[in-house]
Structure 1
């Protein structure tokens, strides 16, 4: 019987129930599609629909996102996300796995590929390297204790406010479309449908934990992460939108920390969400790359 859509599954990591969408075809090679910050697993639906016939597609919701549980502390270190991915691959026995990931998901996946190079068959990371060298230099101008105090203030602010409420779904949809003007209205509506919950009073709120706005200072780490970049052995494709805020590693010099197995492509008329902004071209490139 043809699968109409994904099933909702869960696994446990760090005593937390985490959700993933499983698109079936378990006998096919495993493929993880990992979303970015303040996003959700169903943002990959269009890609999963095209890939599920040849792959066993698994789309996790990061902790604090989508239908995964929030951390009681509202504290989300990057290392915890890497461990969650490690546990997913370990528990489902997915290695060697192919990974396509966006933004924070790309950052997580790149670290995993450096930690466990034998477990990743191929990797596609869309704008996943984090702050540019220029931005890191700017951040270094603030002493560490200053970053800590700023984070404490941001945490206190997040804890004192209820999640943003929108009176109508249409208002939430408008906000989604405003955040990425490259989206078609149809794309924005689909993303919003899976991004919001309906509150008891009939209003709508985003599913992600508001504390995710308070980014822990250790998540903007020093360049020791470059050691992990150098340890990646699988064929890796990094993708950038030329209209994005993200810095292309070929242009900013970070590509020097990677081996010859890593290539970079960029897209005109695309921002941070290349997989939405240039979907057809993106899909053609990754299909050719992952095989």
Structure 2
């Protein structure tokens, strides 16, 4: 697959300069590809290249990711990401958008779709509903103060942590392969080249902010997320990898809240099923859109 590069752009949200790429075809209907945690917008390149023929594809980098600015105070709470996403849609000036989103990006754009149901035409959510009811219950059982203290401790550690340095881009590539065994060499190399940057001493580090390793301790109460989810009016396609750690919303009952949805599970695929089963992914997404 040859990749024809998109154009780099930026917008301002809460004083941060956030990066996005534009795949051209501005006369076509707008489609936003939103990546997940510790990822970057160029991980969509294969998907974008296929969809750019029929859509005006925009792929943003979340705050603290890719070529977007890091939050000076290390604030990566969900509300911040949702605001940034709303600001992107507002900046682009579209009445309605179609969204394909992964993991953290799926969580962000699903909340946006509940806040502004009239603004979303269709939503593809790839493993992006956050922790399962079981995981949430386990976390909450530890108690609020315990979780709060651990968060403070972890934040403190992250503030002292220097991003890991790899002597060569090959070493970073090897780490990428280790993280996801389903990736082909070509995919892993592309994701590494766009996901790492060179340090002053010639070593390489991942672009994302180390503070992103510390997840907010206080989750939005279930009744509030349910309120947002049940307000979504557009059709939603949920995609899950059979070999992923993520919990399928049809089996854990979270899907019941949504008005118009379909869940599809992918064999031989993990959390990044759009990389692991690219052809099947494109076929399902095209049919749905």
Aligned residues: CA RMSD: 0.9
Residues in 2 aligned to 1:74 and 1:132: alpha-carbon distance in whole angstroms: 25
Q: Does 1:275 align with 2:239?
A: no
**Match in the other structure for 1:72:** 72
* Residue 146 of structure 1, CA deviation: 1.2
May I ask how many residue pairs the two structures share in their alignment?
A: 286
3-state SS of paired residue (1:11): strand
Contiguous gaps of at least 5 residues in structure 1:
none
Contiguous gaps of at least 5 residues in structure 2:
none
**Match in the other structure for 2:84:** 84
* Residue 222 of structure 1, CA deviation: 2.0
Query: What TM-score, normalized to structure 2?
Result: 0.97
Residues in 1 aligned to 2:143 and 2:125: alpha-carbon distance in whole angstroms: 31
**Match in the other structure for 1:216:** 216
Residues in 1 aligned to 2:95 and 2:106: alpha-carbon distance in whole angstroms: 18
Residues in 1 aligned to 2:202 and 2:254: alpha-carbon distance in whole angstroms: 47
Question: 1:216-255 deviations in whole A, cap 9, x for unaligned?
Answer: 113x332021111101100110100000000001111111
Query: What TM-score, normalized to structure 1?
Result: 0.97
3-state SS of paired residue (1:252): coil
**Match in the other structure for 2:120:** 120
Determine if contact 2:125/2:237 at 8 Å carries over to the other structure.
yes
Q: Which runs of 4+ in 1 moved over 6 A?
A: none
Residues in 2 aligned to 1:151 and 1:44: alpha-carbon distance in whole angstroms: 31
Residues in 1 aligned to 2:18 and 2:201: alpha-carbon distance in whole angstroms: 27
3-state SS of paired residue (2:250): helix
Q: Does 1:147 align with 2:151?
A: no
**Match in the other structure for 1:287:** 286
**Match in the other structure for 1:164:** 164
Residues in 2 aligned to 1:190 and 1:93: alpha-carbon distance in whole angstroms: 31
* Residue 189 of structure 1, CA deviation: 0.3
* Residue 285 of structure 1, CA deviation: 0.6
Question: 1:117-140 deviations in whole A, cap 9, x for unaligned?
Answer: 000000000000110011011011
**Match in the other structure for 2:26:** 26
* Residue 256 of structure 1, CA deviation: 1.3
Determine if contact 2:22/2:58 at 8 Å carries over to the other structure.
yes
* Residue 214 of structure 1, CA deviation: 0.8
Q: Does 1:48 align with 2:34?
A: no
**Match in the other structure for 1:133:** 133
3-state SS of paired residue (1:249): coil
